[in-house]
Chains A and B, each alone.
Chain A
Amino acid sequence: MSVELIEWYTDLEAAMSAAARSPRPVFIDFWSYG
């Protein structure tokens, strides 16, 4: 079974524009290199 890849945005403004066009909650993973 193949694992679906998550289609991540890395630009928050682009993500918010996408959310405005197709209203869905925005899920942001803030991460760092550690």
Chain B
Amino acid sequence: MTYPNAEVARLLNAEFIPVRINTQDQPEVARRFHLMWSPILVALNHREFPLHRIVGYLPPAEMLAQLHFIRALNEIRSARPANALQIFRQLYAEFPRAEVVPEAIYWEGIAAYRQSKNKEDLWVIWRQLASDYPNNIWAAKTTLLPEGNMP
């Protein structure tokens, strides 16, 4: 189980507003979020902008990596790409083998581009993603942009 883990609890208390909604007790809230199943973990920014959604609970290390990933997405959404880049580096250092790492690298490229406005900064990171994770769907996504929409 994830929540008894001390680091998960510390991170949720320090960096998030943690909410538990029982879908049977609060069906109207569950309907608002179009849930097909539970447990589902939903992350929003402070203005209810959807940041991320996870189906099912995760083991503590994967949950911690996902929480850092959500923090980084929140920083990108809040136009603070430098903060996002710092969080991504922390995520890779602490959880190098977490499932979310290739997806995080994809978004790291976007954060780097948002920071510098230089497309080459995005492509340097995306090329490294394709090289390090050649069979991963997030690497494949970097090659499937339609012509004319290449960032």
Contact = CB atoms under 8 A, between A and B. Distances in A.
Interface of A: 1, 3-10, 12, 15-16, 18-20, 22-33
Contacts of B22: 10, 31-33
A30 B40 contact: yes
B16 interface: yes
**B contact face: mostly helix, strand, loop, or mixed:** mixed
B16 A20 contact: no
A25 B71 contact: yes
14 contacts: A3-B6, A4-B6, A6-B12, A8-B18, A8-B19, A10-B20, A25-B17, A25-B44, A26-B16, A27-B16, A28-B19, A28-B42, A28-B43, A32-B24
B6 A15 contact: no
Interface string B34-50: 01001111111111100
B13 A29 contact: no
Given A4-B13, A26-B16, A27-B12, A10 B41 contact: no
